[in-house]
Amino acid sequence: MERYEQYGHTRRAVGARYGVMDFIIQRVTAVILAVYSILFLLVVLFTKVDYYSWVNLFTFTWFGGFPAGKISTSLAFFALIYHAWVGVRDIWMDYITCVKLRLALQVLTVMWLVSSIVYFASVLWSL
């Protein structure tokens, strides 16, 4: 029985299917955003655009009180936030070689996205 010796060390990737999951998430969030954008565009094209129609667009309800406007807008916004996070994170990881600068940019990106969520929630859910 021959014995094979290994020279050097085995290089491991970050994780199994790390890039595949991000790819799938990017596509799913893109589909959510596309559907919401098309529906939003149709509503804007075929309704009168004034303050009350905008408020009704985001506050309409289904089935006796289910806030469909707020839920669908929130789903689209969270899809946008996650889509942006995956994309910007990949840009930082691919093009910023200095680890400290990359970490600082990722932290600033997370802070910006979280503050966007807080502002979004305070505006939409106060209607």
12: left (phi over 0), alpha (psi -120 to 50) or beta: beta
127 close to 58: Cβ distance less than 8 angstroms: yes
Q: Would the annotation count 83 as a binding residue?
A: yes
Q: HSE, CB side, 13 Å, CA atoms: give it for residue 80.
A: 16
Bridge partner list, 62: 66
**In which element (H, E) is residue 27 found?**
helix 18-46
Closest CA to 18 of 91, 79, 86: 86
Feature table: binding site for a ubiquinone: 95
Feature table: binding site for heme: 83
Feature table: binding site: 83, 95
